[in-house]
Amino acid sequence: MKIIICTLSITLAFLAQSLHQKGEIADGYIIDHDDQRKDGFVVVRKQIDSQLKVKFSEDKNVKKYPVYRVRDIKAYGYETTLVDHQNNPYQHWRHFHSYEFERPARIMSSNISLIERVVENGYYTVSVFKYETGGNVDMPITIRYIVFCDGAEIAQVELDNFETITKDLFGDYTALTNSLGEIKFRFGNFVRLVEDYNFWIESMHDPNIYKMNPKIFNQ
């Protein structure tokens, strides 16, 4: 009996270690530098790691997923589950694309990172770049938003320049710009503010009246 229990314990430990090493597996894809897309499965990574490389395989059950770095691919994505404002789960695709900055996401890494598109449609689209700032104990990871219009970069927004740049970005939407700095109109709300501005551009309602993008309530 002791031998059976010991064997079972070793087996469970091995499986746990295997799952830990592999991580969560999601349906996904990669796109190489020749714009060739491969569908398969992605190992979900967090924070900075997701910008540096991706583990991807066309075979879900392969023992070891190949690693693709920015030199190997130009984009990737995977499906995940999010929760809407009523706590109902829904499926959402996260898309990452390569982009070059003046600095790497992590020291000794490439200046090209795989950044996530967080606003995909509308007048403005937005991607987010996260980079390590080890010298700052209060903020070890800095968030930077890259704003595009018609595919061209028009701004990079961080906490220290948030109000200055957003006044220019949202300048003609008076109700929004007059609220900047108030609760729910700060840097941490930037993605929602872009979504609301895109809705205003689309509907062109009274610029002195603030309205949230209704699509937020459908997520």
pLDDT digits (tens, 9 = 90+) for 205-216: 999 999 999 887
Residues 115, 67: Cα–Cα separation, whole Å: 17
Question: How do beta strands 73-83 and 67-69 pair?
Answer: unpaired
Per-residue pLDDT band at 83 (split at 50, 70, 90): confident
| Closest alpha carbon to 187 in 156, 151, 218 | 156
**Is it the case that residue 129 has pLDDT exceeding 80?**
yes
Asked if 44 contacts 86 with a C-beta cutoff of 8 angstroms, the reply is no
In the chain, how many H helices and how many E strands?
5, 10
3-state secondary structure of 146: strand
| Closest alpha carbon to 201 in 123, 126, 149, 125 | 123
Q: Please, what sign has the CA dihedral across residues 152, 48, 30, 113? A: positive
Domain count, the chain: 1
Domain hosting residue 198, numbered range: 2-218
Q: What is the pLDDT of residues 25-44, one digit of tens each?
A: 999 999 999 999 999 999 99
Exposure of 91 in the CB half-sphere (CA atoms within 13 A): 5
Buried/exposed 188-206: b ≥16 CB within 10 Å, e otherwise: eebeebbbbbbbbeeeeee
- The stretch 41-65 carries a mean pLDDT of 94
Q: What is the pLDDT of residues 133-176, one digit of tens each?
A: 877 667 789 999 999 999 999 999 999 999 999 999 999 999 99
Per-residue pLDDT band at 64 (split at 50, 70, 90): very high
